[in-house]
Amino acid sequence: MADRITRADIVEVAVSLLAAGGLHALAMRRIAGELGVQQSALYWHFENKQQLLAAVAERIVAPVDPPDLGADQAPWSQQILTLGTRLRAALLAYPDGAELVATMLAFRLGAQRPVQQITDVLVNAGFAPTEAEVAASVLVHFVLGYTTDEQQHRQAAAIGAIEHDDHATASADERFARGLDLIVAGMTSARS
Amino acid sequence: MADRITRADIVEVAVSLLAAGGLHALAMRRIAGELGVQQSALYWHFENKQQLLAAVAERIVAPVDPPDLGADQAPWSQQILTLGTRLRAALLAYPDGAELVATMLAFRLGAQRPVQQITDVLVNAGFAPTEAEVAASVLVHFVLGYTTDEQQHRQAAAIGAIEHDDHATASADERFARGLDLIVAGMTSARS
DNA sequence: ACCTGAACACCGTTCAAGT
DNA sequence: ACCTGAACACCGTTCAAGT
């Protein structure tokens, strides 16, 4: 009613809807409703829903800080573990966060920064560019896939389709950490 | 018109629709139409669409043969490489095959056989059960994630949203193989 | 047991028209 | 430049009723 709508407003509402109800709640009609505007109004600011989702995905992975590339940096293996852990934490901050980012990444729509950061760390550690890209994709696919699984399972438990298993949830962190370790070990022997 | 509809008929039509038009073409209305039946008729045979998709996913991964667990088996690392390559080939056989199987796996709806096969190979090679599960999940998430990326990118190129890059497509196989190698190397150092 | 017919409650996207 | 109003072309699911 009051003012005009901006791209940032739309993304902000979209993020809050995602936080509240997951990907299911992220409908153009609902976003428009929340902004007090017609659904067609959104299409002046975004070409389509995918572009909007790309912006949301970007926001999700934004808090993943780049590691120090300066003098006093941790060993590369430690940097990789940190990046992987931070990425997972960022994805877990929103329901369906992992699925959303994975989809956007497959379409090459934003959210590419974490992949680039990981690749940079590896190149900086002496990996050949192609080898660094391959290693980064192994890591990213594991983080996204594992976290998607985790969130989807958690959601199914919340609906009551599955009994909530505290034991399994507790060990999710450790299984993830072990997966990361395996990949870092693989990277170590891949370095020329 | 002629005969009654069976679960197998529905799955068969669904698979052929997937082959022809990808996940987008897999609509209850279209399946029903192809069978000459009302859409509501499908709900007598399947509880919902997800259960139907689970059956389709099962069909997609069915051609992934279990490796020999007998006497004259190849070294475990070779068996892992073979299983990973076969899984990817099975997923590539249908458009959106990887995405479909990944979703069903996240919901613990069928298509779990490949994961079990990989775990079995590792346990058989002397891995501790938990370590085998972690290693299998790393491998499976890479195969599914990488192949989903590949198929989605290919589809975007087909629509014309992206230029078709023969060079990139050519090296997709090699990048995948290198990723597999990295993971197998990681598994090797994870074995107690 | 198996299916029809019809409705319910949704979707994303387009486009002329208004201001 | 920015938004409304209304339509188009779809979805999955339910359920009384038929046979």
pLDDT, tens only, A153-183: 888 877 766 666 666 666 999 999 999 999 9
Length of chain B: 192
Write down the pLDDT at residue A1.
46
C-alpha A180/C-alpha B59 separation (Å) is: 31
Quick check: B175 contacting A, CB < 8 Å? Answer: yes
Given an 8 Å threshold on Cβ–Cβ distance, is A106 in contact with B153?
Answer: yes
Q: Tell me the nt nearest to B1, Cα to C1'.
A: C3
Share of chain B above pLDDT 70, in %: 92
To probe the interface with A, which of B182, B189, B192 has the most A CB atoms within 10 Å?
B182
Give the model's pLDDT for residue B158: 78
| DSSP state at residue B39 | G
- CA A138 to CA B142: how far, in whole Å? 6
What's the rounded mean pLDDT across residues B154-169?
71
- Give chain B positions within 8 Å (CB) of A187: 182, 186
B144 touches chain A (CB under 8 A): yes
Contact A134 B188 (CB under 8 A): no
Residue A2's pLDDT is: 56
* Among B75, B73, B65, B81, CA closest to B183: B81
Q: What is the pLDDT of residue B110?
A: 85
Q: Which of B86, B2, B85, B14 is nearest to B46 (CA)?
A: B14
- Tens digit of pLDDT for each residue in B76-130? 999 999 999 999 999 999 999 999 999 999 999 989 999 999 999 999 999 999 9
A40 CB closer than 7 A to any strand C atom = yes
pLDDT confidence of residue B73? 84
Residue B2 has pLDDT above 60, yes or no: no
Give the distance from residue B135's alpha carbon to the nearest chain A alpha carbon, in angstroms.
7
Pick from B136, B120, B119: nearest CA to B183: B136
pLDDT (tens digit, 0 to 9) for every residue of chain A, 192 residues total?
457 999 999 999 999 999 999 999 999 999 999 999 999 999 999 999 999 999 999 999 999 988 877 777 899 999 999 999 999 999 999 999 999 999 999 999 989 999 999 999 999 999 999 999 999 999 999 999 999 999 998 888 777 666 666 666 669 999 999 999 999 999 999 886
What's the pLDDT score for residue A162? Answer: 65
B138–A142: do the CB atoms touch at under 8 Å? yes
Give the span between the Cα atoms of A172 and A160, in whole angstroms.
19
* B35: its two tokens: 């069978």
What gap in Å lies between CA B26 and CA A82, rounded to an integer?
A: 40
Neighbours of B192 (CB within 10 A): 6
Instruction: Say how far apart CA B108 and CA A134 lie, in whole Å.
Output: 28
Q: Is A182 helix (H, G, I), strand (E, B) or coil?
A: helix
- CB-strand contact A5/D, under 7 Å: yes
Question: CA A128, CA B175: separation in Å to the nearest integer?
Answer: 13
pLDDT at B191: 84
